[in-house]
């Protein structure tokens, strides 16, 4: 097994010093060689929360920089199992903060919730551009907190092999730029003996199957002019559920576009999770100004503030779960004693509800 390099962490700390948004870096803790940069503080009753590591489902991740924490919040009552992942792309910060908020506060009363706030933690360890922040600050009622703003791709130092000239998914399709070999959202269903990104994808697929996940969400962001901004992408088998959610969101004042997964573009979560497991699979995209231009502000943009984007993710997940409940068998419902209110997040900021 490859030894984990400290170089990316040192680089991160140097970039931290140069970042205008940064205050204090969050100290890392390590486990099996993987340095953890992420601050997640669950506050649900202790008997309802289990904190695991993704390597529990696939031990090929153990000791690698791709092992990441899994927060399981169980109502104790039978129902649906819901999976939420943030940080597939570690620069898509609204998805990460939505997942953190759910891991810290959401409390199912029926069914259970499995959250991975920082799915590609290797991608978190570095920053792609010196114009991007390394950390973002969120003020809460208990003081400031800091969240890692990373990169889109697995760190090349961790991948275990150089990028190919062109990347072609094993199932075929168009040849992409070689760097896409390190894009987790092109790697599904992954491979147990592949490079680190393929192993990470394999671990997620294994978790979805082993835990009999019913509904799975992959939270993303795109540039503000991107066709994908404010869009839900749904596996064709669960397109109806997403369509009902989009109608209900419109009535709440949130306009989301809807697309089915491409029939020919392989490797994406909504396509492969839905095709390869029993889960209904959804990907949600919000607009991040920092992905449009090097001067874009990832948190304080007047038109696309972080709070609105996190609120959009929360509302979209909630609407899809409501639509699921409308059509599912009685023993497959998901309900919450507490679910973070998206209006509060939109009006008062993410920090209003973070612990
Ligand atoms: Zn993304």
Q: How far is the CA of 153 from the centre of ligand 1 (A)?
A: 10
Q: How far is the CA of 285 from the centre of ligand 1 (A)?
A: 7
Burial per residue of 277-290, b for 16 or more beta-carbon CB atoms within 10 angstroms, e otherwise: bebbbbbbbbbbbb
- Give me the count of residues in the chain: 355
Report whether pLDDT(19) > 50: no
Contact 158, 9 (CB under 8 A): no
Is the omega angle on the peptide bond into residue 189 within 30 degrees of 0, that is, cis?
yes
Report whether pLDDT(31) > 90: no
Q: Which domains are delineated in the chain?
A: 7-352 (3.40.630)
Q: How far is the CA of 93 from the centre of ligand 1 (A)?
A: 10
Could you give the percent of the chain with pLDDT greater than 90?
82
Q: 3-state class of 189 per DSSP? A: coil
Average pLDDT over residues 37-41: 90
CB-count exposure of residue 3 (10 Å: 0-12, 13-18, 19+)? exposed
Q: How far is the CA of 46 from the centre of ligand 1 (A)?
A: 32
Binned at pLDDT 50, 70 and 90, residue 35 comes out as: low
CA max distance for the chain? 54
pLDDT at 37: 79
Q: How far is the CA of 291 from the centre of ligand 1 (A)?
A: 10
Report whether pLDDT(20) > 80: no
Contact 75, 325 (CB under 8 A): no
pLDDT at 13: 40
Q: How far is the CA of 50 from the centre of ligand 1 (A)?
A: 27
Average pLDDT over residues 77-105: 97
Q: Which residue has the higher pLDDT, 128 or 163?
A: 163
Binned at pLDDT 50, 70 and 90, residue 14 comes out as: very low
Instruction: Report pTM.
Output: 0.91
Q: How far is the CA of 125 from the centre of ligand 1 (A)?
A: 17
Q: How far is the CA of 121 from the centre of ligand 1 (A)?
A: 14
Report whether pLDDT(12) > 50: no
Q: 3-state class of 2 per DSSP? A: coil
Report whether pLDDT(230) > 90: yes
Q: How far is the CA of 99 from the centre of ligand 1 (A)?
A: 14
pLDDT at 138: 95
Helix 269-276 / helix 196-210 crossing angle, nearest 10 deg: 40
């Amino acid at each position: 097994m490859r030894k984990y390099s400290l170089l990316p962490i040192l680089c991160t700390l140097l970039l931290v010093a140069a970042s205008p948004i940064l205050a204090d870096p969050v100290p890392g803790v390590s486990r099996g060689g993987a340095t953890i940069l992420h601050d997640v503080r669950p506050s649900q009753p202790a008997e309802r929360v289990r904190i695991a590591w993704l390597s529990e489902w696939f031990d090929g991740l153990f000791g690698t920089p791709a092992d990441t924490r899994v927060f399981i919040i169980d109502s104790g009552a039978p129902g649906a199992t819901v999976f939420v992942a943030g940080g597939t792309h570690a620069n898509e910060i609204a998805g990460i903060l939505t997942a953190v908020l759910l891991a810290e506060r959401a409390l199912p009363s029926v069914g259970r919730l499995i959250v991975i706030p920082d799915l590609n933690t290797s991608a978190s360890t570095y920053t792609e551009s010196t114009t991007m922040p390394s950390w973002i600050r969120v003020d809460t009622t208990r003081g400031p907190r800091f969240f890692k703003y990373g990169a889109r791709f697995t760190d090349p130092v961790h991948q275990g092999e150089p990028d190919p000239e062109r990347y072609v998914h094993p199932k075929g399709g168009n040849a992409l730029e070689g760097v896409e070999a390190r894009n987790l959202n092109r790697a599904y269903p992954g491979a147990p003996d592949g490079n680190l990104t393929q192993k990470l994808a394999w671990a997620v697929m294994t978790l979805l199957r082993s835990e009999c996940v019913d509904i799975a969400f992959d939270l993303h962001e795109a540039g503000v002019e991107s066709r994908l901004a404010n869009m839900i992408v749904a596996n064709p088998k669960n397109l109806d559920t997403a369509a009902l959610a989009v109608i209900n969101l419109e009535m709440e004042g949130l306009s989301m576009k809807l697309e089915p997964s491409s029939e020919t573009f392989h490797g994406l979560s909504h396509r492969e999770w839905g095709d390869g497991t029993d889960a209904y699979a959804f990907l949600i995209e919000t607009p991040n100004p920092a992905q449009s231009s090097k001067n874009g502000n990832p948190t304080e943009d007047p038109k696309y503030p972080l709070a609105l984007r996190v609120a959009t993710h929360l509302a979209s997940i909630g609407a899809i779960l409501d639509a699921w409940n409308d059509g599912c068998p009685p023993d497959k419902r998901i309900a919450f004693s507490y679910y973070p209110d998206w209006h509060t997040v939109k009006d008062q900021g993410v920090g209003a509800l973070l612990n």
